Amino acid sequence: MKALVYGGPGLKEWKEVPNPKLEKPTDVIIKVETTTICGTDLHILKGDVPAVTVGRILGHEGVGTITEVGSSVANFKVGDRVIISCIKSCGSCINCKDGLYSHCLGDEGVSGLGWVLGHLIDGTQAEYVRIPYADNSLHKMPAGTTDVEGVMLSDILPTGFEMGVQYGAVKPGDVVAVIGTGPVGLAAIATASLYGAARVIAIDLDTNRLEKSREFGATDTVVSGQDNWKKEVMAMTDGAGVDVAIEAVGVPLTFEMATQIVRPGGHVANVGVHGKPVSLELQNLWIQNISISMGLVNTNTTPLLLKLVTGKKIRAEKFATHFFTFDQFIEAYDTFGRAAETKALKVVITNK
């Protein structure tokens, strides 16, 4: 089969590799029909995730059809079309029982980490992929749900909702600022209304993405490259600051921006994947009673979000802006990596 293989920082190749095999009774093999590229994949290629070793097949999002089933798999069969979750879950360890799938203990050789696809084991940017703990790590594709909608449920929608909206403790009437309107930031914007946000302020350098953010539910936009960006945000809150500031980029500057606009008693929800240390002005923040949350998505809200997407309450297909086939993987990476120029949100790559 062919797969997108990591060759070290800055290096990737679409090439022939051995097909995956069932390794444990809880595994399945899936023929990947639709996948996409995540901002985390770009972080990996920059060398920000050193646990990813040379030779690893990248990718942790996808939709496909099961071709082989391990002897212990009870909920799925050959021929089932499924959404692949970016987080694996054994369903039985102490963390999984608490809904903390992101820290599934499992038995993959790494204690307490649910993100293994395209990270610690081979991922979904391939013609076939092995999925561990299939019974708890896959979701059946409902009738009428498209591949494009399904692949957005692998990662970005649960990440934006859980790490931004839920961990940010958004409540009815809140003013929410989302810094960074890439796919995950837009997912936070699209789901903030589920918890009753009254106003959602999108903040970004990219005016195209700011325009797009209004389609996902942003009520206001602010261009962060302007000297008066902070003054604009504060003016929208009568000088008080926002109730919840969601950081969805993953660089020190945007985290600092979030801490500058949150009101006393408010919440900073870090969603971005950081590859460098961030300065925490604790000497100023402690007296403002600010809560700061961060973490890896659990994907325990995927069934709920799947119902909302299937019912067209969340228009997941709007995240997709560019379409490619598997033999165009390198071109897809180039397009996604130059999102400011290409106006790419999510690229959809199909094996059809």
The per-residue pLDDT for 113 is 86
Q: What is the pLDDT of residue 109?
A: 47
pLDDT attached to residue 274: 87
Q: Which residues contact 311 (CB under 8 A, 6 or more apart)?
A: none
Q: How far apart are CA 40 and CA 118, in angstroms?
A: 10
pTM: 0.95
How much is the pLDDT for 108? Answer: 54
Taking the CA of residue 153 as centre, how many other CA atoms within 13 Å lie in the half-sphere pointing to its CB? Answer: 30
The structural domains of the chain, with segments of one domain joined by +, span: 2-155+299-350, 160-294
Those residues with Cβ within 8 angstroms of residue 269's Cβ, 6 or more apart along the chain or in another chain: 163, 164, 165, 167, 168, 244, 245, 246, 247, 293, 294
Could you name the CATH architecture of 160-294?
3-Layer(aba) Sandwich (3.40)
**CA–CA separation, 82 vs 262, rounded Å?**
40
**Low-confidence spans in the chain with pLDDT less than 50:** 109-110
3-class SS of residue 131: strand
Sheet holding 291-294, edge to edge: 220-223, 199-204, 175-179, 242-247, 262-270, 291-294
CA-nearest of 163, 164, 186, 160 to 174 is 164
Assign domain 2-155+299-350 one CATH number from 3.20.20.140, 3.90.180.10, 3.50.50.60, 3.60.20.10.
3.90.180.10
CA distance 267 to 230: 17
Quickly tell me which residue has 């003054």 as its tokens: 231
